[in-house]
Structure 1
Amino acid sequence: MIASYNSTPMSNPISDTTPAAPLAEHLHRPQIRNFQPTGFEKDGKSYVLLRDPSMLTEQQMAVMPQVLQLVLLFQGRETLEEISAKTQAPMHLLQDLVTRMDEVGLIWGPRFEELERVAKAKITAHGHFPISCSASLGKDAQTCAEQMDTWLSEMEDPEIEGTILGLVAPHLDYQRGWPGYAAAYRALKKDQKPDRVIILGTNHFGIGDGVVVSEFGFMTPLGKANADKAMLAFLEKTLGAKRMYADQIDHLGEHSVQMHIPWLQHFYGDVPLLAALIPNPLVPPVSDDDARASTAQFVEAVRTALAEMGGRTLLIASSDLSHVGPQFGDQGQITDAAASEVEQIDRQRLAAYCNKDTTGFEAIFAKDQNRTRWCSVGNMLAAQAILRPENVDLIDYQQVRDPNGISLVSSAAIAFSS
């Protein structure tokens, strides 16, 4: 019913009669970390991959669909004995399940802490985060450049007047999201190289509940993108290094920043980069102890730093919009009528945003509880707060629908200009 594997799914299957072994103390009342469930089939059977989005280990684990219901009960509130009594699941199965989950770092505890420590040490030693999601663009710099040029050639120049200060662009996978990326980046000019780039991402699955800044660069198929050490030094004076970098391991498995770096390298080569994950303003922080920088504090610190440093800054808000359909918990498949309704909702929100009515923009989400699950409200608000642009122009709007009606994800390309 359970398996763990590296490259070959479902190797080493575990029988549900496996004898129980002594449990570590933290596993008696297990608390699961964030994970991404992904369904797949092997040998005619259905399984669910429990993917750790932090990517702390290459080893992964899969379970049968019915076991996923047990996994979701590991919230740190009930003991295994209580879960067994409630579900009638055999104790030895529950013990084996949490033991295997612990091995791959899916349970909060000493094993996860050790995996995190090792990952941090590797990143520190190399001075950058390794290639991850950007590898899907191509195997080498030339392949990536040719692919981006092909996509860019299919888009018209939006002919934005004035100086472009920044963009809103998607963070979808390239295969589905390339029209949105290309529409946004088509607005840039290669001969207008900035002195620095700021990428504001979304913290999808990390543990940080404040702004998470990276002190390290990022590796992509086009080479290493270096961190903006000068900007970081300014911010450290105001925000404090500990508050800025406390949760920077979240960048390891987070795609929203990394998906944009190849595009910027393609246009401008090696430009100093400030990467930050912005929290969701609709979700209150876990703690208000000021141990993490808030978005307001970060915005003010960045504005002060930019005023003192001078030069030209380009800002990218890495933002996807609505996420609807059964894949995200909605009832019923995505129909043309449903897609049209989502577009209407999206365009109402985008109208407020492009009119620079950020108060009204945020109020819309508070009123409807973000019912279509926009995932990047935080970085979109932060982008306008930092740049204070004269113009905010919608370049393109896209919807990506699963052919079976399981999901719809929307995105927009937007230009900020002065």
Structure 2
Amino acid sequence: MTTGTTKDATPSPVLRNLQFSPIKEGEEQYVVLWDPTGLSAEKLVLPLNYFFIIQHFDGEHSLQDITGLYLKRFGEFLMPDKVERLVADLDAKLFLEGPRFEDAKQQAASAYRDAPSRPAAFAGKSYETDGVKLRKQIDGFFTSKEGPDFKPSENKGKPIKGLVAPTFDLKQAGPIYAWAYKELQDAQQPDTYVVFGTAHAGLEHLYAVTDKDFDTPLGSVEADQAIISRLRAVVPDCFVEDRAHQAEHAIEFQLPFLQTVAGSSKPFTIVPVLCSFSAASLSDPSVRQQVDRFVDALREVLSTSEKSICLIAAGELAHLGMRYGDSAPPTDFSFHRSMQYDLEMLKFVEELKPEEFAGYIQKERDQRRISGFSPIYTLLRVIQAEKGQVLRYDRGITDQYNSTVTFASMSFF
């Protein structure tokens, strides 16, 4: 296990960028941790006092420091062997930075590159694994009472330029996806979809492109090798983290809709792009430079393609509640206030104003944690459209504490 060191050279473990959620069993409260990259399939349930301990696994605190902080916080001495066992358990689960994690990461990257395609990672979990049942499930999202009606779109027959769609679990948010894909269904459909998805686990290089075809229960979705090859020649560093696609659901959740809506009328290809940067980070010149470089390269590559293109941004909006770092569950008032802020923010997206969209989030210091910022911002920088429109807005509940995620469907013509 590689750890940081403090001034007394005592090992200082470093926890990876994991996701966590509070859970309650009876009167007892716990926190469950998991790896959003999918490198580790393990989950770990910790009591709150142990969650306090691992919050100090930051490379700055030695185990001795942590036992002292524990004594001060809980008024009892923490036996060193308990902390050591916790460290060993986390390391075995690949939850800590270190040689074990690095070896596993390299092996996983090699295995992904050697694989013939990207398998459907969430079939049977978030949507039906049988093709016939999946098609019926997707159709049901369109016909449900929350789904779009059968009235033709006002843009029927026009070339569609882009969509914004959720990445929330299909079983809950499927009808909201359907509002966006109904516009595609009625439109003049393109040859290729550039799908920008939120990389929920984060990315060092801000963007990750893969050249893998994506398998789904409805068949294989082909990656556009011509466009991807030209993009690789200009921004090769955006292919370094292609394994991030393996466990990320943002793009996968769009594909059954594309196959059902677009695939029934003509063949299509995709360019799968994961994105991960915040509005605040754009004030960092190095981040801005990386984003500009990728955006300029993609625009140039797409402009030289003879194919018609539609851009899709797959991402969510606000994240409210204890699961996301708030001190208390959201109230009806706080949700409705956030809804007002979301719709104000999305006005800039409708008006195709990427910097004003970023500025709105920067002004509120991203207190509502807009996780879909990077794919939506990238779409706005690349798209060639006249206008956007919010079609539907909703929210999903993610835990026992009413933690809330908001999302919207949009179209661009």
Q: How far off its partner does 1:335 sit?
A: 2.8
Q: 1:273 aligns with which of 270, 275, 278?
A: 270
Q: 2:3 aligns with which of 4, 26, 47?
A: 26
Are residues 1:97 and 2:86 paired? Answer: yes
Q: How far off its partner does 1:141 sit?
A: 1.1
Q: 2:198 aligns with which of 202, 207, 210?
A: 202
Unpaired runs of 5+ residues, structure 1, are 1-23
Matched position secondary structure for 2:113: helix
Are residues 1:50 and 2:33 paired? Answer: yes
Are residues 1:261 and 2:255 paired? Answer: yes
Matched position secondary structure for 1:175: helix
The answer as to whether partners of 1:239 and 1:293 remain within 8 angstroms in 2 is: no
Identity in percent: 24
| Counterpart residue type for residue 85 of structure 2 | D
Residues 76-155 of structure 1 mapped to structure 2, 5 A cutoff: 76-87=59-70, 88-135=77-124, 136-154=126-144, 155=148
Name the structure 1 match of 2:54: 71
Unpaired runs of 5+ residues, structure 2, are 5-10, 71-76
Partners in 2 of 1:130 and 1:395 — Cα distance?
31
Residues 340-379 of structure 1 mapped to structure 2, 5 A cutoff: 340-379=336-375
Are residues 1:246 and 2:211 paired? Answer: no
Are residues 1:318 and 2:314 paired? Answer: yes
What RMSD over aligned residues (CA atoms) do the two structures have, in Å? 2.7
Aligned in 2, Cα 1:41/1:79: closer, same or farther, shift over 3 Å? same
Aligned in 2, Cα 1:40/1:410: closer, same or farther, shift over 3 Å? closer
The answer as to whether partners of 1:199 and 1:315 remain within 8 angstroms in 2 is: yes
Q: How far off its partner does 1:239 sit?
A: 1.2
Name the structure 2 match of 1:391: 387
| Counterpart residue type for residue 244 of structure 1 | C
Q: Deviations over 1:14-35 (max 9, x none)?
A: xxxxxxxxxx453822111111
Query: What TM-score results when the alignment is normalised by the length of structure 2?
Result: 0.86
| Counterpart residue type for residue 301 of structure 1 | A
Q: How far off its partner does 1:214 sit?
A: 1.6
Q: How far off its partner does 1:375 sit?
A: 1.1
Aligned in 2, Cα 1:289/1:390: closer, same or farther, shift over 3 Å? closer
Partners in 2 of 1:114 and 1:379 — Cα distance?
30
Q: How far off its partner does 1:166 sit?
A: 1.4
Q: Deviations over 1:305-351 (max 9, x none)?
A: 11211111121100211111233222443333222211111111112
The answer as to whether partners of 1:38 and 1:51 remain within 8 angstroms in 2 is: no
Matched position secondary structure for 1:309: coil
| Counterpart residue type for residue 416 of structure 1 | F
Partners in 1 of 2:364 and 2:24 — Cα distance?
37
The answer as to whether partners of 1:318 and 1:376 remain within 8 angstroms in 2 is: yes
Name the structure 1 match of 2:7: none
The answer as to whether partners of 1:244 and 1:293 remain within 8 angstroms in 2 is: no
Partners in 2 of 1:331 and 1:67 — Cα distance?
18
Partners in 1 of 2:268 and 2:134 — Cα distance?
18
The answer as to whether partners of 1:208 and 1:250 remain within 8 angstroms in 2 is: no
Aligned in 2, Cα 1:289/1:325: closer, same or farther, shift over 3 Å? closer
The answer as to whether partners of 1:190 and 1:268 remain within 8 angstroms in 2 is: no
Query: What TM-score results when the alignment is normalised by the length of structure 1?
Result: 0.85
Are residues 1:62 and 2:45 paired? Answer: yes
The answer as to whether partners of 1:213 and 1:248 remain within 8 angstroms in 2 is: yes
Partners in 2 of 1:288 and 1:246 — Cα distance?
21
| Counterpart residue type for residue 99 of structure 1 | A
The answer as to whether partners of 1:197 and 1:271 remain within 8 angstroms in 2 is: yes
Partners in 1 of 2:392 and 2:357 — Cα distance?
19
Aligned in 2, Cα 1:93/1:285: closer, same or farther, shift over 3 Å? farther
Q: How far off its partner does 1:355 sit?
A: 2.0
Q: How far off its partner does 1:402 sit?
A: 6.3
Name the structure 2 match of 1:10: none
The answer as to whether partners of 1:209 and 1:285 remain within 8 angstroms in 2 is: no
Q: How far off its partner does 1:179 sit?
A: 2.2
Partners in 2 of 1:189 and 1:26 — Cα distance?
53
Matched position secondary structure for 1:186: helix
Partners in 1 of 2:285 and 2:357 — Cα distance?
25
More displaced stretch, 143-152 vs 120-129: 120-129
Are residues 1:338 and 2:365 paired? Answer: no
Partners in 1 of 2:167 and 2:385 — Cα distance?
22
Q: 1:307 aligns with which of 275, 290, 303?
A: 303
Partners in 2 of 1:276 and 1:375 — Cα distance?
15
| Counterpart residue type for residue 299 of structure 2 | R
Matched position secondary structure for 1:341: helix
The answer as to whether partners of 1:195 and 1:313 remain within 8 angstroms in 2 is: yes
Q: 2:159 aligns with which of 163, 166, 170?
A: 163
Partners in 2 of 1:353 and 1:322 — Cα distance?
15
| Counterpart residue type for residue 260 of structure 2 | H
| Counterpart residue type for residue 388 of structure 1 | Q
The answer as to whether partners of 1:165 and 1:314 remain within 8 angstroms in 2 is: yes
Name the structure 1 match of 2:74: none
The answer as to whether partners of 2:194 and 2:270 remain within 8 angstroms in 1 is: yes
Matched position secondary structure for 1:255: coil
